[in-house]
Chains A and B, each alone.
Chain A
Amino acid sequence: AQSVSQHNHHVILSEAASLELGCNYSYGGTVNLFWYVQYPGQHLQLLLKYFSGDPLVKGIKGFEAEFIKSKFSFNLRKPSVQWSDTAEYFCAPGGNQGNLIFGKGTKLSVKP
C-alpha cells in the first residue's frame, strides 16, 4: 500500500535557523510529490510540487525540496526560517487513485 512518513512531529527553531523536514514515501509507480502548508486556523496551501525534471524544486516563500529517487525521499528545506513560517507542513505523494496521500504532518514553531 502507498504510504508516506514524515519523520518529525514537532520542530522548534529560532528565527534565522535552517530547516529541513524529512519525508519518505512508498509508491510503486511514477510519483508526483507535493508539500502543503497549513497556517494556524487556515486551509492547506501548496508550497511546492515535483512532477519531473530538475529534482531540486523551488516553491513559495523561500522553500525548496529535493527529490531523491533512490531514497524515496522529498525533504523540505529553508535556509533561514521566520516567525511567520510557524505552521504545519504536510508531505503528500500523488496516489494512484488520483488522490493525495498525506503524511501525519510536522508542526513547526519558530521562536522570535
Chain B
Amino acid sequence: DSGVTQTPKHLITATGQRVTLRCSPRSGDLSVYWYQQSLDQGLQFLIQYYNGEERAKGNILERFSAQQFPDLHSELNLSSLELGDSALYFCASSPGLAGVVEQFFGPGTRLTVL
C-alpha cells in the first residue's frame, strides 16, 4: 500500500458524459501527478499540482481539467468523454517536486466509456 488513495476503482459511463476522479496523496506530500495508461499510448503524464498550484502540464486534452484543494486532495475532471478516453488513470504523489524524488502511485481508476 503506497498511501495514495483513488476513488472510484472502476467507472463505466457513456460517450459525451463527464466524470470526476479523486485522489488523496500520502500524508505530507505536496505534489500530485495524474497519468493516463492505455494500451496504445502507454503511460502518459497529464498534469502536476504542487501545494494547490498547477506546476506542469503534459499531454492533457482540453476536455480534461484538474485541481488540487487546500487539503491537498486532487480531482481530475474528464468531460465530453469519447471511447478513446477509456484507460487506467493513475494518481501519484511526492513530498516535493519530482523528477528528483520518488513518486508514490495510487491503485488507479479504470474508466470505461461505452
CA distance A95 to B2 in the complex (A): 22
Contact of A98 among B35, B42, B98, B102 (CB under 8 A): B98
Which residues, 83 to 112 on A, are CB-close (under 8 Å) to B?
90, 94-105
Hey, which chain A residues are within 8 Å of B68, CB to CB? none
CA distance A96 to B102 in the complex (A): 15
Which residues, 73 to 102 on B, are CB-close (under 8 Å) to A?
90, 92, 97-100, 102
Count of residues in B whose CB is under 8 Å from the partner chain: 27
A102 and B99 within 8 A (CB): no
Question: Does A72 have its Cβ within 8 Å of any Cβ on chain B?
Answer: no
Count of residues in A whose CB is under 8 Å from the partner chain: 23
B90 and A98 within 8 A (CB): no
Question: Does B51 have its Cβ within 8 Å of any Cβ on chain A?
Answer: no
B107 and A98 within 8 A (CB): no
B105 and A44 within 8 A (CB): yes
A51 and B100 within 8 A (CB): yes
Question: Does B25 have its Cβ within 8 Å of any Cβ on chain A?
Answer: no
CA distance A98 to B102 in the complex (A): 11
Hey, which chain A residues are within 8 Å of B43, CB to CB? 44, 90, 102, 105
Q: Which among B33, B97, B102, B108 has the greatest number of chain A C-beta atoms within 10 A?
A: B102
Hey, which chain B residues are within 8 Å of A104, CB to CB? 42
Question: Does B16 have its Cβ within 8 Å of any Cβ on chain A?
Answer: no
A94 and B99 within 8 A (CB): yes
Q: B8 to chain A: closest CB distance in Å?
A: 15
What 6 pairs across the A-B complex have the smallest Cβ distances?
A94-B99, A97-B56, A98-B97, A102-B43, A44-B105, A43-B105
